[in-house]
A and B are shown apart, each in its own frame.
Chain A
Amino acid sequence: MELEAAVAVLLAVVLAATPVLTVTGRLRTTLAALGVVAILLLAASLAAGRVALAGWPAALLMAEEAAAIVAHRQAGAGLASAAVPLYAAGLLLAAELADHAAWRRGGAGPEPPRVAWRRVTDTGALALASVALGSGCLLLAAAVPTGGAAGTWLRVAAVVAAVATVAVVVALTLACGGAGHRIGVRDGDGGGR
């Protein structure tokens, strides 16, 4: 359990440092501060065993990387980096490790080996697949012309896809009622003397 938490924090430190190294000036300080906040939040969620908090550090780290990408574009360069899919896969791994470490911290017993093995293989396989898919997306983006009518249609399709995704998020949130995932909450005594 402690190993998972340590690896999650270490991975988050690497992820927080990566965008900082690609920018200069005042933005570097801002991104560094953002990274520190993300790491502190991750450590807090792990210490408290609160699974619900484990998503926020991932969001902050993603925002940090996004800011670095935008800054890279404003500097006049082309595609930011071919390493973005790797960064994204690392983000997924850090989030999964943190989620599981926080869950274990809540007092859960050991997982059956079958469950643990499947979790590891599923996460690894999805991370690898996402690297491939992300790289494919970037290659496609570099190859597809963004000017003219085709570019306009592409942008319209992207907007529709984003709106559809948000709609799905809202629908899922409403359907699920925002239920938590806390462990060891005492709903009440089963009986009395």
Chain B
Amino acid sequence: MRRTATPRLGAYAALVAAALFGAVALRRPELAALAVPFALWLAVGLAAASTPRYAATVALDQDRAVEGEGMQLVLELHAVTRVERLEVLLAVALPSGLVPAAGQPPVLVLALATGERRIVQVPLRCQRWGAFKLGEIWLRAQDRFGLFVWKRQADPEPALAAAPAPAVRVYPRPETLRALIRPAQTRQQAGDQVARRLGDGVEFGDLRPLAPGDHVRRINWRASARRGEPYVNQYHPERNADVVLFLDTFTEARDQRGGTLDLTVRAAASLAGHYLTRKDRVGVIGFGGSLRWLQPASGLGQLYRIVDVLLATEPVFSYADKSVATIPRRLLPAGALILGITPLIDERGVRALLDLRGRGYEVAILALSASPFTVATPDELGGLAWRLWLLQREATRARYTRLGVPVAEWDGTRPVEAALEEVRTFQRTARRVHA
């Protein structure tokens, strides 16, 4: 515990000294009388000051939460001696994604009696997704007359202190999705996607004449009666698919309200969760200054792995001219749907998605609108640059569309569902061209 003086101690002592010197120098006893209250305060305060002894342990009531939810910071205090006034400095300790709940002051003031044990719960709000480690909680004890401050850190709970990984995970807020982008090709394994080919399933696909080996219950009696020979129903089987979330992390547009990376993570987590519940295999490629990936797999475990990768996602600045050739082949299974989530800012990310389309992959793009996070400078040149930039984005979108790549823009204010519907509409209406 470190003891420091408050400004009050220095100020009052200086006032006392000045008044006493003045009294002596000017031979005016009234000046000495001016110093009396401050001298009395110092004398009583210094006589009463003693080092407060207390134990403090800090912990969080949960180690994971969803963006926007709350959690509690639990501070356990045990006073060995009387603590006249104890300030808990919260703002210093909290990482950027955790803030005190509304109405919660950044500094708590407490008083502890000798031997008192107290558990203080401070409500926090998870403001932004991420993986965080709780900082050091500083406690500041003061003597009765505010002349000294004893500052120390709260001891973290043993489990919290020993954790090598970030102690708190704040997951991105999930978006509501009722329908997803349907992959053109499916795998052999059973799933929830209605395959385009015919086979065993429940979705009606086509009619064909009865062949040896067909079940009698498959005969379509109405069609058979019309055509004069037995016809059987054919069905689309339910299969799973490979979906690769391609995150363009070269750069981001950001202001104090958020940024395109937040939208990227929120959309990717929602899409991954929904595809995985449909038994699809989902992989992630973080394509930017550094390459991060997760091989396609299915199941709840994969969802947690994906979220962990997303929480660690951040734009890494790089001049390196990266291409899809740097992506390991196993990350891009044949027939996989590549869902590009990109702010369309960096040409390398734009080019990589075009390249994937050129290699025959089915690509759909969720273009994150950077406009809400950028402002044009008020002068004429700034306005011109702003309009040119918007035109350039439009041109990029047109390039994708010409190649049969559906592009939908999402700015975070409307549901991502609406953006996906644009992609689905494109898929329904676009004519497939094989080069």
Chain A contact residues, CB within 8 Å of chain B: 51-52, 54-56, 58-59, 62, 65-66, 69-70, 73, 79-81, 84-85, 87-89, 91-92, 95, 99, 106-112, 114-115, 118, 122, 126-127, 129-130, 133-135, 137-138, 141, 146, 155, 158-159, 161-162, 165-166, 168-169, 172-173, 175-181, 183-193
Contact = CB atoms under 8 A, between A and B. Distances in A.
Contact of A52 (B7, B15, B44): B7
Given A58-B15, A187-B92, A51 B7 contact: yes
A193 B312 contact: yes
A69 B92 contact: no
Contact of A59 (B6, B9, B15): B15
A16 B129 CA distance: 54
Interface in B315-359: none
B97 A193 contact: yes
A77 to B, nearest CB: 11
Interface in B1-31: 3-24, 26-31
Nearest to B149: A181
Contact of A55 (B7, B19, B84): B7
Contacts of B54: none
On chain B, which size bracket covers the interface? 35 or more
Contact of A190 (B31, B106, B132): B132
A95 B317 CA distance: 52
A80 B92 contact: no
A162 B20 contact: yes
Given A159-B24, A188-B135, A193-B311, A80 B30 contact: yes
A89 B27 CA distance: 22
B373 to A, nearest CB: 17
Contact of B11 (A58, A107, A161, A175): A58
12 contacts: A62-B15, A80-B28, A109-B105, A109-B109, A122-B145, A129-B40, A155-B24, A166-B17, A173-B5, A173-B10, A188-B135, A193-B129
B106 A85 contact: no
A184 B91 CA distance: 6
A159 B40 CA distance: 19
Contacts of B6: 51, 181
Contacts, number: 216
B66 interface: no
Nearest to B96: A189
B157 interface: no
A85 B109 contact: no
A60 to B, nearest CB: 11
Most chain A C-beta atoms within 10 Å of own C-beta, residue among B30, B32, B89 = B30
Nearest to B133: A191
Contacts of A193: 96-97, 129-132, 311-312, 314
Contact of A126 (B10, B19, B37): B37
Given A109-B105, A135-B33, A137-B29, 12 more contacts: A51-B6, A58-B11, A81-B30, A84-B33, A114-B111, A122-B145, A126-B44, A176-B10, A183-B87, A183-B107, A191-B133, A193-B314
A127 B44 CA distance: 12
B10 A62 contact: no
B36 A137 contact: yes
Nearest to A59: B15
A71 B123 CA distance: 59
A146 B23 CA distance: 14
B375 interface: no
Contacts of A158: 20, 23-24
B269 interface: no
A178 B7 CA distance: 8
B38 interface: yes
Contacts of B111: 112, 114-115
Contact of A134 (B15, B33, B105): B33
B368 to A, nearest CB: 18
B26 A70 contact: yes
Interface string B83-117: 01101010111111100000011111111000000
B22 A66 contact: yes
Contacts of A55: 7-8, 10-12, 14-15
Nearest to A177: B4
B2 to A, nearest CB: 9
B35 interface: yes
A163 B11 CA distance: 17
